[in-house]
A and B are shown apart, each in its own frame.
Chain A
Amino acid sequence: MSTAQSLHQSRKRKNAVMMALCVIAAGIGLAWLALILGALLYKGLSGVSLAVFTQMTPPPGDAGGLLNAIYGSIVMTIIGIVVGTPIGVLAGTYMAEYGRFSRLTTIVRFINDILLSAPSIIVGLFVYELLVRPMGHFSAIAGAIALSILVIPVVVRTTEDMLNLVPNALREAGTAIGAPRWVVIRSVAYRAALSGIVTGILLAIARISGETAPLLFTALNNQFWSSNLNAPMASLPVTIFQFALSPYEEWQQLAWTGALIITLTVLGLSIIARSLTGRREDR
């Protein structure tokens, strides 16, 4: 009896130890998030001022803002989304609607999942070989194309998943009143899956607005205001990269402020995206 009891005790003890370790692991994960956000807020907020949003990036040792970098990021993100989203939505539509059980869909899904996690610097190299080298110079449009290549897999994935959740009875009802396939897709399936597809687009914006690696040698950087899509353009992430590694205090401060802006944008977009589909998960 006593051996059984001591076995029971040791099992209970082991359980308590392992469960405590799991709680500690969760604590570490959360503490890390808090540490990073805390440092960002602490270092970034002290540099937030109107000048950040109204002045150009300064020469070394001078005060200035991030206006041209913010503008460049917004322009390239918008072009990236505008180019990438239609392709992504259409490809996702094929996979969920026309070719749901086809061989092509299986292959595309597999390749798309790989593209989804492929290193973004590889995409930068690809666009460099594809556009920058033939054109002979760096350009904002090359940066935007690199970003759109990162958008496509995110949108394909969410579009396919969300269209697959639309009940078939809805489509059958549409077909039964004589609507052709593409009208059913457009007016029934898209409408039912709209919030999910929008979520995918928001997540894609969140993903590319912080991307640095694919812009390094496509859009390069620009110290000055430029709205020429055929010339190098500044972007927030690349500016942060350059400024953070510089020895100048003003630049480092701007890098922290820029990092705070990007993080708040990305976290805000992810939270909005989540709240759009959150109710579905709860069920």
Chain B
Amino acid sequence: MNRIRSLYPTLILALFGIVVALYMLQLPGLLAFHETYQFFLFSQNYFKESISVAGGVSDYIAEFIVQFFYYPAVGAVIVAIIIILLTATLYYTLKRESDEWPFSLSILSLSISISVFLLAFMCDENAMFTFPVALTLSILIVRPLRYLMCGLATSIVTIVIATPLLYWIIGPVSVVAIVISIITEERLRRRYLISLVSLLYIALTILVLGRLFLEQYPNESLFWGVHYYRQPTQFPTSLFGLPLYIVIGAIAINVVRSIRLANSILFTSAFSGGVLLLAVLSVLKSFDGEKFTTLQYINLTRQGAWQRIIENSKDEQPDSELSRQCVMLALAKTGQMGEQMFNYNLRGVQDLFDRFKLNCVSATPSAEVAYHLALVNTCFRYYFDSQEAIPNGKKSAHMTKRMAECLIVNGKYNAARKYLERLKRTIFYSDWAKKTEIILDDEKSINEHPVFGEMRRLRFKTENFFFYDQIETEFGLLALEDGAGSNRLAWDYFCAVSLLKGNLERFVGMYHYASEVFQQEYIPLHHQEAILLFWSFGHPNTEGLPFPISQAVVKNLQNFISNTQKNQNYWKVADPSYWTYYLMLQNKKSQRENRIPIHNEREG
């Protein structure tokens, strides 16, 4: 029995580790997101730059680790290891040798609950991995600090020296290391008083260091951390709450340890159940399934995993615009766009391609669309701005790679070389960069390259084309510019935009010409639906229709019209088709038109 009791922390920690790993495996999009929005460089300057800011060492370590999230499965295991390390260190830090079963189980539960709260915080994609790393470092440093705090004098010296040092290495979370060291050190008298005085000293140290070396940072950043959250002007409560919870937990353990009841099964069950339940509830509250699905769609798009995207979308309709953009690209890349697109609950052109918005995420699916369509400048611009929109000022290796590709296609080899130089100093992009660098300046190799050569063939050939905000025209001209039907994807996108805009006249008009250019024998289902619908506006039957429309489609439209005549809202319940989308669009338009006079009247 004693043997089992001595082993149970290890077993529980191992089990917890497996649960964490399995949980993180469900969030590959989130892990890939972290990898996408950083650029760890093996360079002296990068290291110097990192450690020139308070908390830079923990950030440097975290970034080093996060680059392995390139493979999300590896990332899941790494997160689990860090979480277990934190939990185990916390447990062995808070537990005294005299603590016995079942009280020690309460300490273990508290330690696990801290890690679970941390996992809840990490559901936020802007929660940087630096925070768990900094917390873990802080807890790891407690034992060495305690070793030095054998008396009041040595404690004061330790605190005076360690505070600025740890603040600079770990960041403000280092306060946990100092305070926990004091309040868990048995040999120290008046621990809570010393803790309070230390807190004042820590605050003073932060202010002095901040004014001396971090003049450009606002005070909030100095206290809440520069590297813990991607949005530098936002400070979620967890940044303060988690360290506070650890300190309160440590004090609580100290206090209840002396109470006899604490060593009872009843207390342990109630305490453990309570803290773990709260922690799990916080994860459930923070878990945003739609967001994680979107991130995973973006991740799969980046990988070009078209079939997986389509399979995932069949399981569950994509909820967000970004997800739908990814699904549409996957359909286009697999030649199914004209057949399938209206099976998804599309709401407009924004489900296909979007203009840049001032954040680092929302343009990335569209940037991938531009990349595959060979809209080279658009791809470059979207990625450049997306990278610049990363709120904490970090760069992105993935985006840099795409930008380098665009520069190569545009023949800007010196700029491309600059980006390749950076990529060469990474783990996962280095091989590609080295191989690509060899062919720079070699026009023949680039023209024959499967990616660059293809993009050059598909891209706009005319230098001075100038567009304002006309995606439809842009796609149409790109598709038809060379008159040879090379850029089939651009044609698919032109058709999709026209259909989504309800611009049937233009769509059918172009179709006459383009079907010859693209030597199109079969007309995809949604295109047939659109052509037939447009034809039906001016013709009582299909006689004279210049396109081969299947009889099934003709019959379906007749049924659709007949049902709509009976029930004006039939489109809401009908099987998805272009007609259901078209009526939804018309309905939206008429609602908008109806709203305008009311608005004007009010203004008047």
* B is bound to A: no
